[in-house]
């Protein structure tokens, strides 16, 4: 059964980060996401592997494809999670996902009788400026992505190294990594009798999109950043199309990344008997999205939760000083929709159960979130909606599992009317101020007129003695051009 799992991993702060701002509480606001699993800074590599990769290896051996994608800003820990400190030389505790996947794969294959005939092939490619480069043969710098009935999506002409054991695999991976891997694919196939069963594991280290914003990059670096952004945005569009009812127009072909990941993301119409089922599902096995992060401060609220797998990440936060937050949010929005494709929740471990907080089901939660925010946006400004979000979170309205949909709706209305009444009060206060100012203006005008009359009378008395009668107004207009202004 298809499944998309979304995890976040917080790495420990480095010594320098601790010195600069690690001890300070710089939080202005919390960021709250929900994930299938949160790995905190004390999580071991084995915890991450056991949760997200073990099922993928088991699926691959049964001929089901699996994909692990890491996404995050520079220095967040993508490579550490994937490869550990070094693909070849690192202690057991720090060994990354790639090595563990390889070890487990060979152990399982070698111990499985039904897998007496198997073969494992490994390819490594990098998508660079929308060209697929072969990291095991750098002369192949523009490989084509093709599709066949038997193989599904494949990279035509990519070097496939036959691997007999895990140390061969790691040597080969290390060679490819030295050629600067962005994406890595590890493919395993097996044959038995006349049946051919192939499972593919794709391991992807997505480049971060923040580079262009933070560095003001130019030239080639800018081109690089733009293509990275484009492929991330196409990834979002693909997931969007799969989840929002236009599966006939899924733009897999708009980027090399999505084309390669098509098997992992593909939507497939499910037929049940003679009647077509309503849903679209992922055809492949598990796709895992791992977001490595630093455990730092935050500025904005976000929340989402998923059916039977909702986690409240209380007080978990990170710095947006270098986080391309809007990119993450857009991606996140797509990812939360991805969850809607999933039809059968997987059972989770007791450890996971102990930290999770199931809320509403994914449809309910997403509908509810959209409804609340759309309602508020109709009547309030964006900043006000942000404030209300803050209020909701502080009051625990959104996330308290005891709140019903009706409670939340009514809380939303209360908050909106509270906002309206504050605004009405402000208008009343403004009206009073305007009235006071009008009165003051009137009073000043009166004083001015009196003063003008007095001045006119005095002038008339003086002129009358010499010239006879001259109207006061005429005197005042004669004197004004010379700067005379009566008190
Ligand atoms: N979970 C962790 N535990 C201990 N150290 C970690 C952890 N995650 C990352 N680190 C350390 O943090 C630093 C940055 O990690 P890493 O190189 O994996 O980041 P990255 O996301 O791959 O960055 P880039 O995109 O620049 O390659 C490294 O020194 C790494 O050893």
Mean pLDDT of the chain: 65
> 75 in ligand 1 pocket by Cβ < 6 Å?
yes
Query: Can you give the pLDDT at residue 461?
Result: 82
Higher pLDDT, 358 or 443: 443
Worst-scoring range by mean pLDDT, 3-12, 131-140, 311-320?
Answer: 311-320
Query: Does 198 show up as a binding residue in the annotation?
Result: no
Ligand 1 atom closest to 43 (CA): 1
d(CA 293, ligand 1 centre) in Å: 9
Question: What percentage of residues in the chain have a pLDDT greater than 70?
Answer: 48
63 lines ligand 1 (CB under 6 A): no
Confidence of residue 362 (pLDDT cuts 50, 70, 90): very low
Structure tokens at 297: 């401060």
CA of 443 to the centre of ligand 1 (A): 72
Does residue 90 carry a pLDDT above 80? yes
Is pLDDT of 78 > 80?
yes
Q: What is the C-alpha to C-alpha distance for residues 71 and 422, in angstroms, rounded to an integer? A: 42
The answer to whether the annotation marks 78 as part of a ligand binding site is: yes
Q: 136 C-alpha to center of ligand 1: Å?
A: 24
Most confident of 23-37, 114-128, 205-219, 332-346: 114-128
pLDDT value of position 99: 93
The answer to whether the CB of 143 falls within 8 A of the CB of 134 is: yes
Question: Between 442 and 209, whose confidence is greater?
Answer: 442
Of 104-113, 169-178, 215-224, 365-374, highest mean pLDDT: 169-178
What pLDDT does residue 358 have? 32
pLDDT computed for residue 444 by the predictor = 93
79 lines ligand 1 (CB under 6 A): yes
pLDDT score at 303: 34
Q: What is the pTM of this model?
A: 0.60
Mean pLDDT of 306-316: 29
C-beta 40 within 6 A of ligand 1: no
State residue 466's pLDDT score: 47
Q: What is the pLDDT of residue 221?
A: 67
Residues 384-404 have pLDDT tens digits of: 566 555 555 544 444 444 445
The CA-atom distances, in angstroms, between 353 and each of 8, 165, 253, 308 are 16, 36, 39, 10
C-beta of 84 in contact with ligand 1 (< 6 A): no
Pairing of strands 286-294, 66-70: parallel
| pLDDT number for residue 359 | 35
Tens digits of residue pLDDT in 467-486: 433 333 333 333 333 333 33
Percent of the chain past pLDDT 90, that is, above it, reads: 13
Distance 119 CA to ligand 1 centre (A): 33
Ligand 1 in reach of 72 Cβ (< 6 A): yes
The per-residue pLDDT for range 31-63, each reduced to its tens digit, is 445 567 778 778 899 999 999 999 888 888 887
Lowest mean pLDDT among 78-92, 105-119, 146-160, 321-335: 321-335
In short, whether 78's Cβ falls inside 6 Å of ligand 1 is: yes
Per-residue confidence (pLDDT) for residue 119, from 0 to 100: 83
Q: 77 CA to middle of ligand 1, Å? A: 3
Distance 294 CA to ligand 1 centre (A): 9
Asked if residue 142 has pLDDT above 80, the reply is yes
Q: What is residue 291's predicted lDDT score, i.e. its pLDDT?
A: 74
Q: Mutation test of ligand 1: which of 45, 72, 75 has the most ligand atoms closer than 8 Å to its C-beta?
A: 75
Q: Is 72 annotated as a binding residue?
A: yes
- The protein residue with its alpha carbon nearest to ligand 1, atom 15, reads 77
The segment with the largest mean pLDDT, out of 29-33, 320-324, 456-460, is 456-460
483 is in an annotated binding site: no
Residue among 80, 85, 177, 323 whose CB has most ligand 1 atoms within 8 A, to mutate = 80
Mean pLDDT of 76-97: 89
Q: What is the pLDDT of residues 249-302, one digit of tens each?
A: 778 888 888 888 887 776 443 322 222 333 333 345 677 778 776 654 333 333
- For residue 70, which atom of ligand 1 is closest to its CA? 21
236 annotated ligand binder: no
215 is in an annotated binding site: no
Domains of the chain from N-terminus onward: 5-14+31-269+283-294 (3.40.850.10)
Cα-to-centroid distance, 405 and ligand 1 (Å): 41
304 C-alpha vs ligand 1 centroid, how far in Å? 27
Q: Which of 188-197, 362-371, 446-455 has the lowest mean pLDDT?
A: 188-197
């Amino acid at each position: 059964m298809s499944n998309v799992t979304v995890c976040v991993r917080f790495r420990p702060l480095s010594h320098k980060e601790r010195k600069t701002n690690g001890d300070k509480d710089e939080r202005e606001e919390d960021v709250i996401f929900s994930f299938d699993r949160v790995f905190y800074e004390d999580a071991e590599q084995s915890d991450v592997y056991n949760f997200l990769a073990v099922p993928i290896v088991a699926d691959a051996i049964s001929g089901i494809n699996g994909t692990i994608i890491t996404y995050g800003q520079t220095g967040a820990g993508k490579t550490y999670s994937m490869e550990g400190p070094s693909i070849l030389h690192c202690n057991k505790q720090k060994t990354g996902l790639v090595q563990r996947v390889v070890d487990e794969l060979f152990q399982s294959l070698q111990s499985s009788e039904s897998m007496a005939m198997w073969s494992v092939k490994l390819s490594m490619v990098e998508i660079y400026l929308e060209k697929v480069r072969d990291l095991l043969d750098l002369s192949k710098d523009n490989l084509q992505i093709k599709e066949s009935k038997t193989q599904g999506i494949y990279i035509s002409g990519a070097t496939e190294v036959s691997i007999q054991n895990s140390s061969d695999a790691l040597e080969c991976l290390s060679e490819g990594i030295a050629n600067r891997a962005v994406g890595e694919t590890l493919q395993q196939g097996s044959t038995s009798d006349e049946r051919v069963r192939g499972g593919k594991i794709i391991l992807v280290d997505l480049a971060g999109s923040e580079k262009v914003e933070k560095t003001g990059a130019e030239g080639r670096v800018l081109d690089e950043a733009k293509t990275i952004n484009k492929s991330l945005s196409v990834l979002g569009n693909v997931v969007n199309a799969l989840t929002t009812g236009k599966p006939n127009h899924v733009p897999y072909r708009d980027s090399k990344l999505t084309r390669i990941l098509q098997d992992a993301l593909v939507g497939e119409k499910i037929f049940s008997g003679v009647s077509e089922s309503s849903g679209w599902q992922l055809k492949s096995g598990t796709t895992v999205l791992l977001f490595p992060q630093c455990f730092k401060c935050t500025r904005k609220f976000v929340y989402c939760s998923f059916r039977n797998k909702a986690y409240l990440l209380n007080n978990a936060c990170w710095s947006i000083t270098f986080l391309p937050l809007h990119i993450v949010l857009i991606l996140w929005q797509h990812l939360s929709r991805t969850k809607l494709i999933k039809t059968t929740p997987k059972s989770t471990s007791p450890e996971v159960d102990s930290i999770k907080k199931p809320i509403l089901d994914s449809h309910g939660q997403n509908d509810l979130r959209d409804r609340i925010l759309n309602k508020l946006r109709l009547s309030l400004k964006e900043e006000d909606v942000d404030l209300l979000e803050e209020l909701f979170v502080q009051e625990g309205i959104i996330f308290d599992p005891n709140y019903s949909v009706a409670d939340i709706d009514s809380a939303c209305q209360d908050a909106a009317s509270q906002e309206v009444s504050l605004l009405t009060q402000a208008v009343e206060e403004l009206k009073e101020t305007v009235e006071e100012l009008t009165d003051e203006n009137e009073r000043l005008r009166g004083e001015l007129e009196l003063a003008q009359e007095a001045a006119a009378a005095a002038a008339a008395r003086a002129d009358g003695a010499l010239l006879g009668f001259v109207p006061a107004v005429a005197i005042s207009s004669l004197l004004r051009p010379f700067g005379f202004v009566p008190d």
